[in-house]
A and B are shown apart, each in its own frame.
Chain A
Amino acid sequence: MRQARTVLPTYSADIFGVCSALYELGGMTVMHDASGCNSTYTTHDEPRWYDSDSLVFISGLTEMEAIMGDDSKVINDMLSAIHEFHPAFAVLAGSPIPMMTGFDFSSVAAELEARSGIPCFGFQTNGMRSYICGVSEAFAAFAERMTDENVKRKEKSVNILGATPLDFSINGTVESMREILRQNDFEVIGTWAMGSSMDDLRLAGEASVNLVVSGAGMKAAKILKEKFGTPYVVGTMMGKTMTDKVIQAIRQTGDDGSDRIVFSNENAQDETDFYIIGEGVLSRSLAYAIKLECGMMPRVIYPLELLTELDGILSDMDIHVMEEEEIIEACANAKLVIADPLYRSILPENCRLIPLPHEAFSGRIARKQIPDYTKIDLKEMIGGIML
C-alpha cells in the first residue's frame, strides 16, 4: 500500500528543510508545533546544533491554542524573543496541526514584521513533504526578498546554491567546492547556505554564474536569473573528472550566459542493473561522474518530490518513485546500488550496496562515513566491476 513503510525511514521533512537552509544566516526560525519537531530536527537533521547558538525554537503549540485559534501566543512569544535576541530576520514554519487549523502564516509574518521592524517570513510547511520542499522555499524566499538589487556583477564570480547539511553533511564537501572554485580563479560570493553570512547572500546579484549543487537550489537559481539575469550551471562536484566538468561549464556559462546542466545528455540504459538512489542533482552528478571515470552509467532512482523547477534536470530515464514498495520494485533486478545504508534491507539478496550515507535520510547514524564528494575516488568506490 502507498504510504506504508515496513523498514525504510522517511526523509527529513519540509519544516526541517526551512530550518536547515536558514540556520547560519543570523535569523530566528520558529517551528509552529507542539514539541517533537524541535528535538527531531536538532537531534537527527542538524549536525551544527551542539556547537553553535543559532536561533531555532519551537512554539510549544497546545491543543487549546489550536482549537481556539489563539495565534496571539506564538506572535507575542516571537516578538519577545526578537526583542531579546535581535535576529536579522524571523521565520515561522508550519507543522501538521497548523495546516489543519488553517493557520495563516503569511498574515502572521506580516503582523510580526509590522510590529518588530525586521523582515519576517511565514512558510506553509506541514511536515508532510520532504526537506527538499522546505529548503527550496526558504532559499527562494530569501532570493526574492533579501538580495540587494543595487549591486554590480563581477566577472568570474559564483554563488553556490542548494548547500545544506541535509545533502552535504559537514564533512568538508562544501568547503572543498569553494576552494576548488577559488583555485580556478573564481570568487565565491556566497554559499546558500553553509559558511556564508546573510551579508554574503545579499550580494548574490554580483555573481556572474550560479552553481546549483542540489535540487533545492533550483528555484532560487531561477529567481536570481529573473532578478539579476544570472545564468546557472547545475551539477555537483563528484570526484576529479566531474569536478573538472563543472568548472568547465561555469567558465562556458560565464562566457556565453547560457544555462547548463552538466549531466544533461547522459542517460542510463533501460536494462541496467546498476542504480543510484538519492537526491536528484547529486545522484545525476554522481551517475555522470561514474560514466566519465568508469565507463558505466547507473540509473537514478529519485525518491523525493518532483519540484517543477526540476523539469529538465532529471532525465526521462530516471525513475521517480517515493513509496517503499515502488522502490523495492524499481530495484528488483539490481546487482549494484549506491545508496544510503538504510536502503540495504530492501535490496535483492544478491545485490551489492555501495553505502553513500545521506543525512536527510539516515540522519546522524552514518554521518562519519559521508565523504567529501569532491574527493571521491570513483574507481575505488565501484571496485573491481568496471566495464
Chain B
Amino acid sequence: MLKRVGEKQVNPSVHISKAAFPSPFPSELEFSAPARGTWTIVHVGMLVPEAHEIFVCAAGCLRGVVLSAAEMNLMGHFSTVAIEEHNVLDGDMEELIIEGVTDILNRLPKLPPAVLVYSSCIHHFMGCDLEMCYNTLRERFPGVDFVDCYMIPTMRKSGLTPDQIMRRQLYSLLRPTEKKINACSIIGNCFSLAESSDLVKLIRKAGFTLYQIPDMKTYEEYLKMSESAFCITTQLVAKAAGDALESRLGQTHLYLPLCYSTEEIRKNMEKLAGKLGISYDGDRAAEETAEEALDKAFEVIGKTAIAVDYTFTPRPLGLARLLISHGFNIKVLYLDSFNKEEESDFQWLKENVPELEICPTVHPAMRKVQRGSEEKVLALGQKAAYFTDTCYFVNLVEGGSLYGFDGIRRLAELMIDAFKQEKDTEMLIQRKGLGCESCI
C-alpha cells in the first residue's frame, strides 16, 4: 500500500517477491469498492442494437441490473420477470420464463428484432429446461431472435465466467452466411479500437471492411458481422467468443491480446498481416512515437508514485513492466489475482522490483484501510484512484480503445493530462459502465 495517514491498520498487501502466482490472496469475505466503471452484463448486452433484455431472477438480483438499465436511460429496452418463493416450490420455472417473456413481448409497443433472455443461478440449480423455454419462445415469436444469456455468479468458478459467456453470447445471433474475403470483425470488446490504433490501421491498409459491435447502430448492421472471414479478439475474456465464431460460423479466430511489450505487439501485427495477406516489417515510426511519448510523459510525471489496477487493462503487469522500464515509479498494483498470461511479466517484476506492492481490492481489510497518501499519486484505473484517494487519474477501463504502439502513445498522453488536471473522482468512478450514457 501507499503510505497511509492515521492509525496502524491491517495491511493485506504483499510484495511481489512474496506473492503466489496466480492467486496471491486467499479467498475470504469480499468487499465491494465503489468504483463502478467496468461494464456489467446489462451494459454488454445492450451492445446488440435494437435488442431487448429480459432478466428472469429473484428481485434482489434484478435490483442491480434494472437500475443499471435505468441509469443508462434504456428502460425501454429492458424488462424483468421476478422469481418468487412459490416458483421454487412449485417447480414451474419453465412456465414462468415462457409466459413471462411472452407477456412482456406482447405488451411492448413493437417487437424487437432480438431478445436477450437472462436466466439466473436458481434455474441452473433446479435443472430448468432452458432449451425447451427458448425453443417455445422461438416458435411463438418467429420474427424475433432469442439469445440465451446468463446471470450466474454462483457458477463463476465453474468453467467460463458469466462475463466470458456474455461476450460469447453477444455474437450468437450471427448466422451462417457467405463470407466476404475482405471483411473481418474485432469482437468481445466494450469499446471499438481507435482508428489510429495499429490494429485498425493495418486492417484499413489492407482494404478490409472492419466490424466492431460498439459502432453498430441497427440490428441489420450487426448481422453483417456474419460475413466476416475472420474475427479478432484482444482480451482473454473475449477469447471464448472468438472460438465460438470459429467453430460455429467458420470465421478464423485470431487472438491478438492487448499488450505492452514491443515483441508481442510486433508478433501480433505480423500474425494479423499474414491473415490480411499483406506484409508487415514493423512500424518503426509508431514505435518511435510511442517511445517519445513515454519519454515526454516521464519528463512531466517523473518519479511521482503511480498506482495501477486490474480494471484499467487486462495486462496490468505488462503495463507496469513497460512503465518501470521507462523510469516511472510504479508503487502498487491493485488486483486480486494475476492474469495467467502474464507469468513472464510477473517473473520480471519479481526479479527487478521485488518490493512492488500487490494489493487486493476485495479483501475485507480493504474496507478499513485509510485511503489516500501524503504524496501525490497518479492512478491508472478507477479502483486505484479510489484506494489512493487521488484526483489525478486516468479514467479508463479494459484498456479502452487503445491498442499497440499507438495505444502506448495515447496512454502516455492520457497520463500527462491526468497528472495535470484534477478530476472529481468520487463522482466519476461511481458511474456504472464507463462510456455508456448515465443519468447519474
| A interface residue numbers (CB < 8 A to B) | 1, 3-7, 9-16, 30, 33-40, 42-45, 49-50, 53, 55, 57-64, 66, 73, 77-78, 80-81, 84-85, 95-97, 99-101, 126-130, 342, 345, 362-365
Contact = CB atoms under 8 A, between A and B. Distances in A.
Interface in B21-51: 27-32, 34, 36
B59 A127 contact: yes
Contact of B28 (A33, A62, A80, A364): A80
A129 B60 CA distance: 8
B63 A58 contact: no
Interface in B142-191: 151, 153-158
A121 B397 CA distance: 39
What 9 A-B pairs come out closest when comparing CB atoms? A127-B60, A40-B64, A13-B60, A34-B153, A1-B103, A57-B29, A38-B32, A34-B154, A9-B66
A44 B29 contact: no
Nearest to A101: B125
Nearest to A31: B60
Contacts of B82: 3-5, 10, 128
18 contacts: A4-B103, A5-B81, A6-B104, A7-B75, A34-B121, A34-B153, A40-B67, A43-B67, A44-B64, A55-B367, A57-B29, A63-B158, A77-B28, A96-B83, A127-B61, A129-B59, A345-B75, A365-B67
A25 B365 CA distance: 19
Nearest to B87: A3
A301 to B, nearest CB: 18
Nearest to A84: B10
B291 interface: no
Nearest to B122: A96
Given A36-B64, A100-B122, A3 B84 contact: yes
Given A60-B27, A77-B28, A3 B100 contact: yes
A30 B29 CA distance: 8
Given A80-B28, A100-B122, A362 B70 contact: yes
Given A15-B60, A43-B34, A58-B32, A5 B121 contact: no
B58 A38 contact: no
A50 B371 CA distance: 11
Q: How large is the interface on B (under 10, 10 to 19, 20 to 34, 35 or more residues)?
A: 35 or more
Nearest to B28: A77
B42 to A, nearest CB: 11
A12 B70 contact: no
B45 to A, nearest CB: 15
Contact of B364 (A14, A81, A127): A81
A162 B400 CA distance: 44
B30 A58 contact: yes
A33 B154 CA distance: 8
B285 interface: no
A78 B29 contact: yes
Contacts of A49: 34
Contacts of B31: 38, 57
Given A38-B30, A44-B64, A55-B367, A63 B155 contact: yes
A155 to B, nearest CB: 41
A44 B75 contact: no
B76 A53 contact: no
A365 B440 contact: yes
A50 B426 contact: yes
Contact of A84 (B59, B153, B364, B432): B364
